[in-house]
Structure 1
Amino acid sequence: MHEHIAEAVKEPDVVTVPPGAICLRFETMKLYSALGAVRHLLETGQVKPGDTLVDSSSGIYAHALALACHRYGLNCHIVGSTTVDRTLRVQLEILGATLEQVRPSKNLRLDQNLRVERIGELLRENPHYHWMRQYHDAIHYLGYRDVADLIRKEVPEGPLSLVGGVGTGASTGAIATYLREAGRDVTLVGVQPFGSVTFGAGHVSDPDMIIAGIGSSIPFQNVRHGLYDRIHWVNFDYAMSGAVELLRASGIFAGLSAGAAYLATLWEREREADRTYVFMAADTGHRYVDSAYANHPSAKGLGAMRPHEVTAQDELRHPWSAMDWPPADSALLRGGSVPVPERA
């Protein structure tokens, strides 16, 4: 029996998806990150019950941090993206978290910059707040050890390819780190939107992309670039088509990042079939119903979709590009590596 709903909700469904892939379908994947980080902060005395935790979020982390704070008796304040919908806003309010959303913006860069600026203002006004720094603090790696342990138990032995959104780096990067530490042969394939600077695609915009959680307009210090073997950049139309086909083929109703990861998984499996492929569905599809799923009649068939295989970032182009990582000229982009902290 679980002591709190957060522990129950965090556990993913492990689902076989044809042809020959495995999906980890989370309701709110970042609960692993938030719960692990909050426990560590409490155990090490950096925060205490009644303190206020604050951070920026495009949606998933907001829910996760609010639940973690509810679990451990902490206050929660979120600076949210415009992608935070009414369903989540109401839940946050009832959970006792406070939410302020930045003004609507036309692109990922402006949205994230506005949120970061507001965090700075809040900390100046409330120096006793604890900033969770989900984009920069390696403490967010800790909780994903449990996901790695789950994969070790559920996925047959042998070479493994893990596919999913890069985001802050504290999900796919952390899971691959713990699997490799346990001796597993892991190829890590990261998914990014165009416009994200994390792997050098800031010069290729995609105004329609609304999955801000897997990309960034600012450098993320907890992205350990050297962990990744392949990177896929997927635009909105193709991510939407992938999500629609994932629902049609498997019944899995997941977010746009899952659609992009599904596309990347199918392509990687076509290139190298003698590995087990596990891809991440970090959230459900509910907040994308109007913006994406409602347009399912216009979804493209996956059979004709192929990425542009490139060797340098200046070759990137819509709708889908893929590249072996690291490229020869990536020395600057491999910076920002951070150590994984030990458990308290």
Structure 2
Amino acid sequence: MPVITSPQEFNTEDLYVDLLPVLGRRFYLKVEGFNFAGSVKLKAAAAMVQAAERAGRLSEDSVLVESSSGNLGVALSVIAADKGYRFVCVTDNRCNLATRRMMEALGTEVYTVTRPAEEGGFLAARFDHVRALCASDPGYVWLNQHANPYNWRAHQDTTAPAIARQFPNLDVLFVGAGTTGTLMGCARYFRESGRPVTVVAVDTVGSVTFGGPAQPRMVPGLGAGVRPELLDASYVDDVVMVSEPETVRACRRLAAVGFLFGGSTGTVVAGARRWLDAHRPGEELTAVAIAPDLGERYLDTVYQESWVRDVYGDAELEDRDDVEYRRRLTESMA
């Protein structure tokens, strides 16, 4: 029985879901949401705070400040509450209401940016506000998850080795791209270990991370309006771009069999399914995807019928692939 004194000491590292009943082919989802922050971001948050403490950047009078669409903000809220730091999270109006309330319950001051910048959208506007705060008072400490190397090092040291131990014959790994911390940490680990693993990044349509045109995005989590400084695309073997309606359909397909995952997870699952169908149809291989978050924070958006219809319209709710999934599932069970 684990006994802990700090919330960041606990994380379930070895839980996987086999999505055969959902996708009609064997495919493993590494579930990262079972910790006190509810997402994979707790690892990066803990690593960045510890590095800042070791470097002497943080003292008892410091004020942590960070730009986040949600999950990293919650993770830092958990750690700040535990360590007694004041924390200001700069987010925007796409942040889920449940996420904002969770951060506030943990003592975080949440500042919501309501107008996007002309270039870089809401992310650039959030950066501008963070920079203004830091310029106004030297007591503010910006960890900057988009440029901080301890973001990706956390996953090079923990997430990727855990997958490698569980799946010594891993063929393909799917990782969502937000700040690209998880992506870069895992990609670097497998490249530098010499294992022949194909690393596929999954991004959302409207994100500029891999050079696509910027478009409005309503589901927080993956994607970026400003190319992340952490990204080194030479480590990435392929990229899949997923539309938000695809994300919604994937989330609902998972929920229909009892797995309530978040928007980032739905995006990764949708992208992985499409890549496997296009590049490895009918092929037996070991494929793993990282599920960054759980679904409770998306109940008012992705899982809310009226919100989805208002944002995407009725046509986008139709699961056009459902018949094909059911056919493959029946064949695989035969």
Q: Settle same-fold status: TM greater than 0.5.
A: yes
**Equivalent residue, structure 2, for 1:6:** 8
**Matched-pair contact (CA < 8 Å) for 2:117–2:125:** no
Give the match's secondary structure for 1:293: coil
Residues 170-216 of structure 1: CA deviation (Å, up to 9, x unaligned): 0122122123333432211111122211111125x3x3x32343111
Gaps of 5+ in 1: 307-344
- Residue 246 of structure 1: CA displacement? 2.2
**Matched-pair contact (CA < 8 Å) for 1:108–1:195:** no
**Equivalent residue, structure 2, for 1:258:** 265
**Equivalent residue, structure 2, for 1:324:** none
**Equivalent residue, structure 2, for 1:278:** 288
Q: Structure 2: which amino acid aligns with 1:216? A: A
**Equivalent residue, structure 1, for 2:332:** none
Query: What is the aligned length?
Result: 301
Alpha-carbon spacing, 1:259–1:87, altered in 2? closer, same or farther (3 Å): closer
Residues 122-169 of structure 1: CA deviation (Å, up to 9, x unaligned): 1111222111111112121222121112212222x2243111211111
**Matched-pair contact (CA < 8 Å) for 1:164–1:257:** no
Which of 128, 137, 150 aligns to 1:117? It is 128
Partners of 2:115 and 2:162 lie apart in 1 by 39
Alpha-carbon spacing, 1:57–1:179, altered in 2? closer, same or farther (3 Å): same
Partners of 1:86 and 1:159 lie apart in 2 by 38
Deviates more, 1:229-238 or 1:47-56: 47-56
**Equivalent residue, structure 1, for 2:222:** 214
- Moved beyond 4 Å, runs of 4+: 9-12, 104-109, 303-306
| Identity value in percent | 23
Residues 21-47 of structure 1: CA deviation (Å, up to 9, x unaligned): 111122211101101111122123232
**Equivalent residue, structure 2, for 1:313:** none
Say whether 1:48 aligns with 2:59: yes
Alpha-carbon spacing, 1:299–1:240, altered in 2? closer, same or farther (3 Å): farther
Q: Structure 2: which amino acid aligns with 1:284? A: L
**Matched-pair contact (CA < 8 Å) for 2:188–2:235:** yes
Partners of 1:106 and 1:242 lie apart in 2 by 31
Q: Structure 1: which amino acid aligns with 2:81? A: H
Aligned CA-pair RMSD: 2.6
Q: Structure 2: which amino acid aligns with 1:112? A: L
Which of 175, 178, 181 aligns to 1:167? It is 178
**Equivalent residue, structure 1, for 2:330:** none
Partners of 2:161 and 2:31 lie apart in 1 by 16
**Matched-pair contact (CA < 8 Å) for 2:30–2:289:** yes
Give the alignment's TM-score, normalised by structure 1. 0.79
Give the match's secondary structure for 1:210: coil
Partners of 2:14 and 2:98 lie apart in 1 by 21
**Equivalent residue, structure 2, for 1:336:** none
Q: Structure 1: which amino acid aligns with 2:224? A: S
Which of 268, 281, 290 aligns to 2:275? It is 268
Which of 65, 84, 91 aligns to 1:80? It is 91
Partners of 1:4 and 1:11 lie apart in 2 by 17
Partners of 2:71 and 2:119 lie apart in 1 by 16
Alpha-carbon spacing, 1:180–1:72, altered in 2? closer, same or farther (3 Å): farther
**Equivalent residue, structure 1, for 2:236:** 228
**Equivalent residue, structure 2, for 1:342:** none
Partners of 1:195 and 1:303 lie apart in 2 by 25
**Matched-pair contact (CA < 8 Å) for 1:158–1:184:** no
Q: Structure 2: which amino acid aligns with 1:87? A: A
Residues 72-114 of structure 1: CA deviation (Å, up to 9, x unaligned): 3322111012233333333322322211111166999432122
Q: Structure 1: which amino acid aligns with 2:244? A: F
Partners of 1:39 and 1:76 lie apart in 2 by 15
Partners of 1:163 and 1:178 lie apart in 2 by 14
**Matched-pair contact (CA < 8 Å) for 2:152–2:183:** no
- Residue 299 of structure 1: CA displacement? 4.0
**Equivalent residue, structure 2, for 1:302:** 321
- Residue 304 of structure 1: CA displacement? 7.2
Partners of 1:100 and 1:242 lie apart in 2 by 31
Give the alignment's TM-score, normalised by structure 2. 0.82
Which of 3, 28, 42 aligns to 1:22? It is 28
